Structure 1
Amino acid sequence: MFMRIPNGKKILLALASLLLCFQFSYSQSPIKDSVRLEDIVVTGSKIEISRKLVPLSVSQVSRKDIENSGQINILPALNTYVPGIFVTERNVLGFGVSTGGSGAISMRGVSGSPNTEILMLIDGHPQYQGIFGHPLADAYVASDVEKVEVIRGPASILYGSNAMGGAINIITKKQREEGLKINLGAAYGSFNTQKYYGTIGYKKDQLSVFASVNHDQTDGIRANTDFNITNGYTKVGYELSKHFDLTADFSIAKFNGNDNGSVYAAPVPFNIDITRGKASVALENKHDKLEGAFKLYHNFGTHDLSNGFHSTDNNSGLMFYQTLRLFTGSNITVGTDIKQYGGKVNQTAVKDSLITVNESAVYAYAQQALLDNVSLSAGLRLEHNSKYGTELVPFAGLTYNPSLHTTIKTSVSKGFRSPTVMEMYLYAPNPELKPERMMNYEVSWLQSALENRLQFDFTAYLIKGTNLIEVTPGVPPVMTRKNLGAFTNKGLEFSTKYFLSQNLYLNVNYSYLNLEKPVLAAPRQQVNINVNYTYKIWTLNVSSQYIEKLYTFIVSTPTQLTTKTLNYNLLNARLSAKPTKSLELFVAGNNLLNQKYEINYGYPMPGIYFNTGFNVRL
């Protein structure tokens, strides 16, 4: 099934040796409460459930992990903690849009250009621009996040289109402690990079409120690459009874950025001025035998680009699902999704015309325990799109627990992506396009040891994709899009968490990807090592990332394929001190090895750069 892994055995042996060395050293600092609880996730099942019972491959990144990474935006932090995922960057702040834009997410070599094959969710609601169908990476800030859950592989059974290659669910903060909580912070760093933020949380009896304001700005790595963003977020919750919770939230982000183009061409200044917003309301119910939610959401935005492009868009919908526990070991989830997305643009072909696409779906997902250690899962989704018709999405999985600390999982799942408004009507258009499709086959081994201080999982997968949308060769307006492409990806993923002591924590992940065809921003091998050590008031976080054979440039003609690949190794460190219970001071250094590299072709990343700042929690 898998080809020989170049240097893969050496890397895994080195990681195993590193773990063994740490094992001998940990005994100097015994862990007092050594039994650590397993991860509880919601993204892979719609309800809270142990990660080892979900047949899908699910990773969880905690709030503490995000803080230790020192990242302002969520997506780069996922590179450190989640195997098989890679996010493109081009500046210290600001992913941008259009030509040269970054923030593309590749998962197991599946991404899309722009990213339309990995679904971004906020509290379970789909988040993407209504016309181009991709998320706006700049809108996801770290201060509003409680944790992030990632489905590595198709999630279309639960979330429909755009979850073809996987799903990333950002779960936002909710005030849980009684009283008033205030958090203030600021940071300053290289390239005149600045961050300011404040959050406030209040809870009294059944009422909870959380609100935040953020402002980030930078002069950029090169001339005319400055960027600034201001965003606000509010979440209000009310416990109607012990069985019903009502939640409403609203967020707005305004950002402006400049792009000077590739360093390999004459400067071409380009400006973006974008406003994005989101509002949602959810009523959740939880009983012994019945659990679920009814959710309404609305995403909206205005995009103004210096090339004259102007658009307004929206993505709105409702979600309703219920999980029934008819008897011990049985979960049956049934649900429906209804959404509408689209917008207006000032382009000649569809000037000022409101173009919308409607989607509706019903699905059922069931899990049944057999004997004491086997659980079977199966699901089916029927989705109808107003432009291309009906899509059937099956899923099947099995989990086997030979012991309390060992889990074997396997699954077969289908992913799909419906064409975007842009693909059908704007650039190289074809309104007759059909959905992209892929099948994913995988098997996983989850293991814990040393009273849960050591946890690891190992996954092997095979992906077969068909019907990919590609642009046919030609000169505009002759160019068009057709369902032409196919691909086969194979890979391995390994991740481990090791709590050596109360003060020392190790997180390592490794991924290997074998591509039938080269794909941008999909490295063949990736190793991430993250070490976190606390001593009295001090906390040191050191992270290393090794990237091998990253495609940064691909040009294909009928007679020739031209590619450029890159290897690099990054080393970052963050040192913080808490002289008082409420005050934290920190300094962080990035790319300490001063690597020369670029992820987006023609956009070199900075050498060594620093930032310092403070957080106050009241």
Structure 2
Amino acid sequence: MKRRFFYPMLFIAVITASPLHAQDGIGTAVLDELVVTATLSETPLDRIPAAVEVIGKEEIAEMGASTLQQVLTEAQGVVLEVASGRMSTAGLRGLGSSRTLVLIDGMRLPTGFQDKADMGEIPVSFIERIEIVRGPVSALYGSEAIGGVINVITRKPSDKPLAWFGAQYGESRNGEAAGTLFDGGVSGREGRLGYVLTGSFSDKERFDFDQEDWKTDGDDKKIGAGAAMFTWDFGDGTDLAAGVTYADVDRYGVRPKRQTEHDWRNRSGRFTGMVSLRTVLAPESVLFFRASRSEYDWGVTLTPLENTMLPTPAHALLESEIHDVDQVTDQYEARWTGKLLNSHKLTAGIEYRTEERQEDGVSSEIDNLGLFLQDEVSVTGRLRAILGLRFDDHSGFGSVYSPRIGVTCQLTDYLRLRGAYAEGFRAPSAFELYSGSPYTVQRILVPNPDLDPETSRTWEVGADIEHGALRVNLTAFRNDIDDMIAEVFTGRYEGTRPAIPVNEMRNIAETMTRGIEVSLGLDLGCGFFLSDELSLLDGENRDTGEELLYIPDVSNVLKLSYGSHDIGFSGNVRLVTTGSQYTGGEEKNGSYSLVNVFASQSLTTGARLFAGVDNLFDRMAGEGYGNVYGPGSSGMFVYGGVRLNL
């Protein structure tokens, strides 16, 4: 394995984060922001011994993004991977999407084909903010939270009546990939009733730069989505909430299969509904109950196009090929948060979850009971610790404990140190155990019913500096995973030309990932702000010494932004870099960088025009990067629109 970059870059990162770079007289503060994902209760960032990123709706708007996938391309530590069906999945710290838990308002997002959650199916219209916790959180969330958690938090009822509407249009430099986006909503309160209703529709046309490869480079894609939440304040510290989110996605394109062009159609529907009750028992003592159901239906149909058939065996001239997935997840949870002896903030909870899944006729059911306890301890005014332990009883794989300990120390007014150790686990999915993928263009994947669960150990240390206008966050981490579930090449199927690789799901005895994350923010004055988010990653199969797939050796987002309330103008320039990585076998994709620009201008207090260019220099990125339907695949993309607040 190539290690030559790691230790020199560690030295550079440590020097970058040292107090010698702090400057006097200029200031910005972010550590007093409250987040909920890392501890399950509102907690200031400066009390959390973990690397946390918060992306608000204003920042999302200034990306010109329409889906969660586009937002995550510029999030630190997030690695996007392309999956079958041109899904784009998100993993944290090089641990893959199966080890990253994706939530909507704290509820698990059901997975689709091949047990993947497609980030391109989730519109941004109902998102209030996104909280990303990098590092294991299995002590709170159980399985799949080894790499971290991405929590999409939807809009909540506003105190004052609000209404908004937005429209956007864009297309690539070649006139392809034309897309329209409309979204709107209302929010407010009437007496004790709070409400928020949002809806959106987007339509993006296909693009095809290579007319001879039997496939469209990008497919026609339509997304209709909506969300609603209603709350009732009983007036005695008790609140009732009920909400739903929904997205319907249609995609059309062309795919090659068995030496024949096929019309490819994919449709999916995602629904989540919940009801919750929150009651304040005493000052700083809160009970919370929630019941939720998430449903996901996914299907694809491949129909041969007869007029494009090449000479081929008769068995290939069959009727349409159909794949489908149905998954239903029910979750019931209760937790209490309260103070004990003034120095302890306790969170205790119970969670029961059932999952029913059917994929291409293969059915599976699991249930999981989880119990957890967390203690946020104020040892002194400057020293705090978080101790957590979760017990899970999984119907298929028995019982497991997941501990976590984290410590933060405010060493000086400008410097905070933190460290953490955690253990986690991941149970094999039904796809890995039973379904597999009998035939795709890329490979045959054989399931393995004898898989064991994964277990992980993570060490993490970090430092946070705020001095004047300068903010620097540094994190170094290492993940050791035993029995990692991965695809292992076993040979080639000779029944096709060219022969297709055959992989089998197997446990790898020992694997490791490690990295350095550096985040920097600097207020330059006069409305200008500079930020940079750098991640260095390294991963190894310790059985063979080979590098792991889908781990870019470097990723970086450099952003220069400007805003002026006096003239109502704001804008930014973003340089997004993704390093080289292995995407299969011995194939290694090279690094690439994209330049994105955005500008907006207020016309009145309630109207704003905006425009932007993604991939300004028309750089093309390979499919292996998971940049599906993004500017790296469609080339330079120019867009503009209007936003109205009524």
Q: Classify the TM-score, shorter chain.
A: 0.7 to 0.9
Q: Relative to 1, partners in 2 of residues 1:15 and 1:54: Cα closer, same or farther, differing over 3 Å? A: closer
Length-normalised TM-score, structure 1: 0.87
Contact 2:131–2:152 (Cα < 8 Å) also in 1: yes
Contact 1:228–1:255 (Cα < 8 Å) also in 2: yes
**Structure 1 vs Structure 2 CA RMSD:** 3.0
Contact 1:261–1:267 (Cα < 8 Å) also in 2: yes
Distance 1:136 1:9 in 2: 33
In structure 1, the partner of 2:353 is 339
Distance 1:504 1:13 in 2: 26
Distance 1:258 1:54 in 2: 44
Length-normalised TM-score, structure 2: 0.83
Distance 1:446 1:305 in 2: 47
Q: Does 1:182 align with 2:156?
A: no
Q: Does 1:519 align with 2:548?
A: yes
Name the aligned partner's letter for residue 204 of structure 1. E
In structure 2, the partner of 1:152 is 134
Query: Greater CA deviation, 267-276 or 138-147?
Result: 267-276
Once the two structures are superposed, what CA deviation does each residue of 1:593-612 show, in whole Å capped at 9, x if it has no partner? 22132242797712222011
In structure 1, the partner of 2:79 is 86
2:76 partner SS: coil
Within the candidate set 65, 70, 77, 2:71 is matched to 77
How many residues of Structure 1 are paired with residues of Structure 2 in the alignment?
Answer: 581
1:4-153 matches, within 5 Å, as 4-5=5-6, 8=9, 38-80=32-74, 82-88=75-81, 99=84, 101-111=86-96, 115-129=97-111, 132-153=114-135
TM-superposed deviation, 1:458: 0.3
Contact 1:47–1:291 (Cα < 8 Å) also in 2: no
Contact 1:131–1:341 (Cα < 8 Å) also in 2: no
In structure 2, the partner of 1:92 is none
In structure 1, the partner of 2:600 is 576
Q: Relative to 1, partners in 2 of residues 1:6 and 1:212: Cα closer, same or farther, differing over 3 Å? A: same
Name the aligned partner's letter for residue 336 of structure 1. I
Q: Does 1:495 align with 2:519?
A: yes
Contact 2:246–2:270 (Cα < 8 Å) also in 1: yes
Distance 2:254 2:132 in 1: 33
Once the two structures are superposed, what CA deviation does each residue of 1:536-555 show, in whole Å capped at 9, x if it has no partner? 1221121111222133x311
Once the two structures are superposed, what CA deviation does each residue of 1:66-90 show, in whole Å capped at 9, x if it has no partner? 111211112332332x32212247x
TM-superposed deviation, 1:443: 0.3
1:338-357 matches, within 5 Å, as 338-347=352-361, 350=362, 354-357=363-366
In structure 2, the partner of 1:193 is 179
In structure 2, the partner of 1:559 is none
TM-superposed deviation, 1:255: 0.8
In structure 1, the partner of 2:638 is 610
Within the candidate set 555, 564, 581, 2:588 is matched to 564
Distance 1:13 1:369 in 2: 28
1:216-227 matches, within 5 Å, as 216-222=202-208, 223=216, 225-227=219-221
1:69 partner SS: coil
In structure 2, the partner of 1:324 is 338
**Aligned sequence identity (%):** 21
In structure 2, the partner of 1:540 is 571
Contact 1:245–1:285 (Cα < 8 Å) also in 2: yes
TM-superposed deviation, 1:492: 0.4
Q: Relative to 1, partners in 2 of residues 1:481 and 1:79: Cα closer, same or farther, differing over 3 Å? A: closer
Contact 1:165–1:415 (Cα < 8 Å) also in 2: no
Contact 2:81–2:625 (Cα < 8 Å) also in 1: no
Query: Greater CA deviation, 596-605 or 402-411?
Result: 596-605
1:220-369 matches, within 5 Å, as 220-222=206-208, 223=216, 225-261=219-255, 268-286=262-280, 287-306=282-301, 307-347=321-361, 350=362, 354-369=363-378
In structure 2, the partner of 1:393 is 402
In structure 2, the partner of 1:558 is none
Within the candidate set 420, 429, 432, 1:420 is matched to 429
Query: Greater CA deviation, 596-605 or 461-470?
Result: 596-605
Distance 2:52 2:126 in 1: 21
1:600 partner SS: helix
Distance 1:333 1:520 in 2: 37
2:616 partner SS: coil
Distance 1:344 1:10 in 2: 50
Distance 1:598 1:480 in 2: 25
Q: Relative to 1, partners in 2 of residues 1:295 and 1:3: Cα closer, same or farther, differing over 3 Å? A: farther
Distance 1:62 1:374 in 2: 29
Contact 1:131–1:313 (Cα < 8 Å) also in 2: no
1:445-464 matches, within 5 Å, as 445-450=463-468, 453-464=469-480
Within the candidate set 433, 441, 444, 2:459 is matched to 441
Once the two structures are superposed, what CA deviation does each residue of 1:97-133 show, in whole Å capped at 9, x if it has no partner? x62523221211101xxx2211011111111227854
Once the two structures are superposed, what CA deviation does each residue of 1:390-437 show, in whole Å capped at 9, x if it has no partner? 111111111111123321110001122111122222223333322112
Distance 1:36 1:153 in 2: 20
Distance 1:16 1:358 in 2: 45
Contact 1:497–1:505 (Cα < 8 Å) also in 2: yes
Query: Greater CA deviation, 479-488 or 590-599?
Result: 479-488
Q: Relative to 1, partners in 2 of residues 1:481 and 1:372: Cα closer, same or farther, differing over 3 Å? A: same
TM-superposed deviation, 1:530: 1.6
In structure 2, the partner of 1:554 is 584
Distance 1:594 1:462 in 2: 36
Name the aligned partner's letter for residue 446 of structure 1. D
Once the two structures are superposed, what CA deviation does each residue of 1:329-358 show, in whole Å capped at 9, x if it has no partner? 2111111110011223443xx3xxx53111
